[in-house]
Amino acid sequence: MSGKDRLIRRLAISRTILTARMSPVYSHNQSLLRSRNSVMFSIALSLFFFLTGCKDSNTPGTPPATGINKVNHVVVIYLENHSFDNLYGEFAGADGLANASATQTQVDSAGNPMAVLPFVTGSPYPNNLPNKPFNIDQYRPWDSLTSDLVHRYYQEQGQIDGGKMDKYALISDAKGLSVGFYHTAELPLAVEAKHYVLCDRFFHSAFGGSFLNHQFFIAAAPPTFPNAPTSVVAKLDANGKVIQDGFVSPDGFAINTSFTVNTPHPSSVPAAQLVPNQTNPTIGDRLSAANITWAWYSGGWNNALSGTPDKLFQFHHQPFAYYANFADGTQAKKDHLKDEIDFRAAAAAGTLPAVSFVKPLGDDNEHPGYTDLAKGEKYTLDLINAVRNGPNWNDCVIIITYDEHGGFWDHVAPPTIDKWGPGTRVPGIIISPFAKTGFIDHTQYETLSILAFIEKRWSLTPLTARDANANPFSNAFSF
C-alpha cells in the first residue's frame, strides 16, 4: 500500500469516527459539552493522522549525506615540536630520509660543509658523527628527555636558507641534535598512520615557534602588538638579519612567545608586555556565527584559571584567550574554552561538539626539553581511543599534527607563500572511518588545511587568503 493510499484510509477512518460522534444516536444521552469535546478530539485526531501519515515509508525522507557532509565531528589533536623526518623519516613509502641526500649536509657560517656534526659540550652524542642525519635513540632512548632546540621566527627562516635546508645545525642552540631522528617503528602513532592516512607534504603554517603557529591555527593571521615596549621589539639590519631578537617584529606583530592580557598568564610578566586583545576573526567566531558547536580543550585549563597552573601548563598554547571575543568575563570564554577532562567526558557520552581542538598538557605533548616522546605518543593514542570507542566515532575525523618543527631539520623545502610561512614539514595523520586505508598522501597541505576542511564542511567564510587557498585534504578521504 502506498503512502497516499494509507493517508486516504486514515482520513476515512477519522471521518467515520467524526460522523458517528456527531449523530443523534451517539448524542442521545450525552451532554452538549461532551459532544463538542468529542468533535474537537476527532478533528485533532484527523489532523494528527494527516501530519504523521504523509510520509511514504517506501520513499526516503531526508536524502542521506554525501561526501564531506557525512562528517559530523572533527577532532584535532595538536602536538608539539617535531619535524616529519625527525619522526617519520623511516616510514615505508613516504618521502623520507632515503631521499634526503640533496639537502642533508649542514654548512658553517661561511657556507662550507661541516666536517662533522657539532654538539653542545656535555651532550650524550659523540663529537665525530658524520655530517648527515643520525639516530637519536642509540644515545638517548625515546622515553627519555632531550634538550630543547631553538624554534623562533627569524631563526627558522635562516635554517631553511632559501630552501637549501642546510643551516639547522649552525643556527640551533642544540647544534647537531637538530638533524637527529627517531626510529619510526618505535612510535605507536606510526601504527595508526599505517592503517589510515599519513600526509608527507604537511607544513606548519608560520615560521617559528608554538605561539605564532597557534595563532595561525585559529586565525590564519599573526596577532598585532602596536606600541609594544621597545625592549621587546626585534631589531634587524638592512639585510633583514637579526641584531637583537624580540617577540614583536619591527612592524608591530607578535611573532615569538608572548602572553595575553587575559587570564591565565604568568604572574611574572610585566603588564606592559602583555599582548592586547585581538579583534580579527577566528575559526571559533565563524563556527559560532553558523551555530556550529565547538570547543578548545586544554590540559590543565581549570587549574590555570583558578590560579594554580601545572608547572608544565603552557600559557601561550591557549590562542583563543588572546581575543576580545573570548576575554575574561565573556560567555564565549566559558562556553568554548574548556579543560581536557571535559573532552574525555564528552567522547565517552557521545556529546562531542562538531569541532574539538585538543591541546594536551606539557607533560603529554611530546615537546623536547620538558617531556619525552614515548609519554606523548601513548597519551595521544589514549585520546584517539577515547573517540574511537565512543558513540561519535562513526561520523568523525581525527586529525593529528604538530604545531611546528621544534627546531628539527627536514629535507623537504617548504613552499613559499608569504612572509609568514609556511615553515618546515611536520607529520600529519588522519584517522577516520572515511579516511583512505593504508594511504600515504603526497598532496601539499599545511596547518591551515585543517581550517579549510572545517570551512568546507560547514560552508564557512575563510578568515584570510591563507586558509582560503589551503587544500582541505582533498586526497585523504574515500567519500
Enter the pTM of the model: 0.87
Reading the block at residue 137, the C-alpha cell is 635513540
CATH, range 67-96+172-469: 3.40.720.10
- Residue 56: is its pLDDT beyond 80? no
pLDDT at 62: 79
pLDDT in tens, 245-254: 999 999 999 9
Express each pLDDT in 296-328 by its tens digit. Answer: 999 999 999 999 999 999 999 999 999 999 999
Mind listing the pLDDT tens digit for each residue in 363-421? 999 999 999 999 999 999 999 999 999 999 999 999 999 999 999 999 999 999 999 99
Tell me: the pLDDT tens digits for 11-28?
444 444 334 443 433 334
Confidence of residue 61 (pLDDT cuts 50, 70, 90): confident
How does DSSP assign 319-344, residue by residue? GGGGBGGG-TT-HHHHHHEEEHHHHH
Gap between the terminal Cα atoms of the chain: 35
Pairing of strands 294-298, 355-359: parallel
| Tens digit of each residue's pLDDT (9 = 90 or more) over 69-95 | 999 999 999 999 999 999 999 999 999
Averaged pLDDT of the chain: 90
60 — pLDDT class (breaks 50, 70, 90)? low
pLDDT for 97 equals 98
Q: Domain residue spans in the chain?
A: 3-53, 67-96+172-469
Q: Using the predicted structure, report yes or no on whether residue 42 has a pLDDT greater than 90.
A: no
SS3 for 69?
helix
On whether the CB atoms of residues 425 and 401 are closer than 8 A, the answer is no
